[in-house]
């Protein structure tokens, strides 16, 4: 049993395990987990544990990777709530084809169609803002899923109910909603220091998302807001306290 090649083969397992540990991209780590599984199956077989090798190949390589893939896919996503008017026409068509209950996840617009799309109603920078957000979050291996809501009330309610991670809505619609509610605490008031307000406001309830967007989002077409949402999923908007309201730094 003490053949010289055995030492080299056994040394391969810590090598691949180290590769797995130091891999930052979750999708690559998924595959390297498969490499580790293949390696360890080899080592177990060479050391004479045929049953362990078989189990490793079946469970460790096949089942675990598929489960990890599902887990990574469903966790590395930011759910962004937007107004229904801001969906461009071709997305709406796709929506109706998909025939899903509201709020419907919306397919990404193809990049070629983006320039053609938006109708007269939404101001143009929304598509660019969306693509900016996508590039920022792609650096962190995250995807953005769009959820459409009927009006800004429903949008904020969805944020409070933890249905979405962040909402993006035009500042004008926000002011309408706030003024319609009259005496309510002006949560999402227009920032005073900006003479010309940014056309969009992005409100998130997660500090990590806020940090990422604040540090890396180079677009000046949105203001970022971080709101605190209570532990017990409040049903009313008035529970929310704005932690900090600040505009994005202007790019020189």
| Closer residue to other proteins, CB minimum distance, 7 or 193 | 7
List the Cα angle 86/128/95 in 5-degree steps. Answer: 35
- The CB-of-35 to other proteins minimum distance in angstroms stands at 5
* Angle separating helix axes 4-21 and 26-46, nearest 10 degrees: 160
List the Cα angle 135/31/71 in 5-degree steps. Answer: 65
Question: Any bridge partners for residue 246, and if so which?
Answer: 224
- The CB-of-85 to other proteins minimum distance in angstroms stands at 25
| Closer residue to other proteins, CB minimum distance, 36 or 240 | 36
Q: Is 94 exposed, middle or buried (0-12, 13-18, 19+ CB in 10 A)?
A: middle
| Closer residue to other proteins, CB minimum distance, 55 or 194 | 55
Structure letter (DSSP) for residue 160: H
- The CB-of-99 to other proteins minimum distance in angstroms stands at 16
Residues that bind other proteins (CB under 8 A): 3-5, 8-9, 12, 15-16, 19, 23, 25, 27-28, 30-32, 34-35, 38-39, 41-42, 45-46, 48, 50, 53-54, 57-58, 61-62, 65-66, 69, 72-73, 143
- Both tokens assigned to 148: 């459409």
| Closer residue to other proteins, CB minimum distance, 37 or 170 | 37
| Residues in the chain, total | 252
- Both tokens assigned to 150: 């009927």
- The CB-of-148 to other proteins minimum distance in angstroms stands at 17
């Amino acid at each position: 049993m003490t053949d010289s090649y055995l030492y080299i083969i056994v040394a391969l397992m810590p090598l691949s395990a180290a590769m797995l540990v130091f891999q930052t991209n979750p999708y690559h780590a998924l595959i390297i987990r498969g490499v580790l599984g293949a390696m360890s199956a080899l080592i177990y077989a060479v050391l004479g544990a045929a049953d362990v090798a078989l189990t490793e190949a079946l469970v460790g390589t096949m089942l675990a990777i598929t489960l990890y893939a599902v887990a990574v896919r469903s966790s590395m996503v930011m759910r962004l709530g937007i107004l229904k008017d801001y969906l461009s026409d071709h997305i709406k068509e796709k929506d109706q084809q998909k025939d899903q209950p509201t709020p419907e996840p919306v397919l990404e617009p193809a990049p070629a169609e983006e320039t053609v799309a938006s109708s007269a109603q939404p101001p143009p920078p929304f598509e660019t803002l969306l693509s900016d957000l996508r590039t920022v979050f792609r650096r962190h291996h995250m995807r953005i899923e769009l959820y459409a809501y009927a009006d800004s009330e429903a949008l904020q309610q969805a944020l409070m109910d933890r249905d979405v991670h962040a909402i993006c809505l035009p500042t004008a619609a926000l002011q309408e909603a706030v003024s319609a509610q009259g005496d309510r605490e002006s949560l999402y008031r227009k920032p005073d220091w900006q003479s010309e307000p940014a056309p969009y406001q992005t409100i998130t309830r997660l500090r990590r998302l806020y940090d990422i967007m604040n540090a890396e989002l180079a677009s000046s077409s949105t203001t970022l807001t971080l709101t605190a949402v209570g532990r017990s999923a409040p049903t009313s908007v008035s529970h929310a306290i704005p932690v900090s309201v600040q505009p994005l730094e202007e790019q020189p």
